[in-house]
Amino acid sequence: MSIKIAVIGAGIMGADHARIVAEDLPGASLSVVCDMDLARAQAIADIYETEAATDPETTIARGDVDAVIVASPDFTHAPLSLACIAAGKKVMCEKPLSQSSSECLGVMQAEEAAGKKHVMLGFMRRYDPAYIQMKRALTDGIIGRALMLHNWHRNGSTPATDFTGAMAITNSAPHEFDILRYLLDSEAVSITATQPARSDDKVAPVVMVLQTVDHQIVTIEVNNNAAYGYDVKAELVGETGSIATNHVSYVRLDKEALKSVGHDPDWRNRYAEAYRQQNRAFLRWVQGGDYPELASSSWDGYAAAVIAETGVKALETGIRQDITLISKPEFYA
Ligand SMILES: NC(=O)c1ccc[n+]([C@@H]2O[C@H](COP(=O)([O-])OP(=O)(O)OC[C@H]3O[C@@H](n4cnc5c(N)ncnc54)[C@H](O)[C@@H]3O)[C@@H](O)[C@H]2O)c1
């Protein structure tokens, strides 16, 4: 029997999730596309010959909706995840769970009260082949104990002119916070954050240094105005070797004494396989499987939110800040 999935939010990410569900997820069907802007929902619903809706809560409660993908803006994630928990439906919610750690705690409490997990988060790098191989290099002992993880997150330009360094930490960096916790299997205990000066009024890169409880060092550069394109990369340095992501490109151009590869401006192409595998894992879970092994849970969303909140404080004060999480509830062990 096909699992009927609703997609909430018909923007850039929602359109991609709708496409995956409708065309690339055997065993699932797209039952409704919901966006507060009916025209947006309708445009995508028309492509896949399904229904459009404008109210997320009513959509979640519908009898012909078995599971939900939330791809509306950040501030809607926690309330809509709570609505899914209340309706007893599983949700694949885009990152971040919330920009507020206390809102994340509210979702965790609701899940615990419901007695089982309902939420997986769209921290899809855990499903990316490059990061999977980096993780394997550690677990298989190929590079020895991890010492350092370096991360670069660069975009061509910011979508909004009023984008700030704090927004780089709360909006772009949570992917880095999640992947560092996942790869190193350790918690970050402190963070510093600083910015160089730009000569124009665009937001300058934010550079963060974190330390883990196991005394590993993590560096993160978030450069939202890198000018040359979308470019995310990482290098994991162990005691006996190092493993780095390769630039992903299908072709190389040789011309006028130059060898060049392009930077795809669209991150959905770079992570296409990760999104596909993530949504497949979600479907297997909805079909009755165990909670996906690689999935990022509400606990992981809470941890990413605490790191982001602390990172903003570090940027504002210029002083290294301690990161303090609550003890991990047994429910998420
Ligand atoms: N996992 C990733 O790699 C990744 C990448 C980009 C964005 N994101 C996340 O995905 C989410 C969506 O990002 P986007 O770039 O698609 O944004 P977007 O602005 O393109 O689309 C958001 C859509 O949600 C709709 N919307 C707003 N409030 C709503 C509500 N209350 N109910 C229903 N619809 C509502 C808007 O009308 C819009 O169509 C964000 O939370 C973002 O952080 C994740």
- pLDDT tens string 263-302: 988 889 999 999 999 999 999 999 999 999 999 999 999 9
User: Helix/strand/coil (H, E, C) string of 232-261?
Assistant: EEEEEEECCCEEECCCCCCCCEEECCEEEC
Look at residue 280 and tell me if it is in a domain: no
Pick from 81, 102, 123: which residue ends a domain? 123
Look at residue 260 and tell me if it is in a domain: yes
Q: Report in angstroms the alpha-carbon separations of 18 from 103, 126, 187, 282.
A: 27, 21, 34, 14
Which ligand 1 atom lies nearest to the CA of residue 34? Answer: 33
Q: How far is the CA of 229 from the centre of ligand 1 (A)?
A: 21
Q: How far apart are CA 162 and CA 282, in angstroms?
A: 35
- pLDDT tens string 21-37: 999 999 999 999 999 99
Q: How far is the CA of 18 from the centre of ligand 1 (A)?
A: 13
Around 307, how many Cα atoms within 13 Å sit in the side-chain half-sphere? 32
Look at residue 42 and tell me if it is in a domain: yes
Q: For ligand 1, atom 27, name the residue with the nearest CA.
A: 72
Q: Are residues 118 and 250 in the same domain?
A: no
Q: Are residues 91 and 218 in the same domain?
A: no
Q: What's 170's DSSP letter?
A: I
Q: Are residues 171 and 82 in the same domain?
A: no
Q: Are residues 230 and 112 in the same domain?
A: no
Domain that holds residue 16: 3-123
Ligand 1 pocket residue status of 10, Cβ below 6 Å: yes
Q: Are residues 47 and 96 in the same domain?
A: yes
Q: Across the chain, what does the average pLDDT equal?
A: 97
Region at 240 (left for phi over 0; alpha for psi -120 to 50; beta for the rest): alpha
Pick from 107, 123, 139: which residue ends a domain? 123
Q: Are residues 47 and 133 in the same domain?
A: no
Q: How far apart are CA 108 and CA 102, in angstroms?
A: 10
Residue 88 is part of a domain; what is its CATH number?
Answer: 3.40.50.720
- For 237, the token pair is 């340095």
What pLDDT is recorded for position 158? 87
Q: Are residues 311 and 183 in the same domain?
A: yes
Ligand 1 pocket residue status of 8, Cβ below 6 Å: yes
Q: In testing the pocket of ligand 1, which one of 8, 17, 72, 172 has its CB within 8 Å of the most ligand atoms?
A: 72
Ligand 1 pocket residue status of 12, Cβ below 6 Å: yes
State the total domains in the chain: 2
Pick from 123, 153, 169: which residue ends a domain? 123
Ligand 1 pocket residue status of 80, Cβ below 6 Å: no
Ligand 1 pocket residue status of 73, Cβ below 6 Å: yes
What pLDDT is recorded for position 160? 78
Picking from 298, 281, 309, 276, the residue whose alpha carbon sits closest to that of residue 113 is 298
What pLDDT is recorded for position 91? 98
Q: How far apart are CA 191 and CA 173, in angstroms?
A: 13
- pLDDT tens string 133-163: 999 999 999 999 999 999 999 999 987 778 9
Q: Are residues 138 and 89 in the same domain?
A: no
Q: Crossing angle of helices 174-184/298-317, nearest 10°? A: 120
Q: For ligand 1, atom 40, name the residue with the nearest CA.
A: 73
Look at residue 316 and tell me if it is in a domain: yes
Q: Are residues 174 and 229 in the same domain?
A: yes
Q: Are residues 14 and 65 in the same domain?
A: yes
Look at residue 103 and tell me if it is in a domain: yes
Q: How far is the CA of 94 from the centre of ligand 1 (A)?
A: 8
Look at residue 90 and tell me if it is in a domain: yes
Residues 6+ apart with CB under 8 A from 67: 3, 4, 5, 6, 89, 90, 91, 92, 282, 283, 286
Q: Are residues 18 and 118 in the same domain?
A: yes
Q: What is the pTM (predicted TM-score) of this model?
A: 0.96
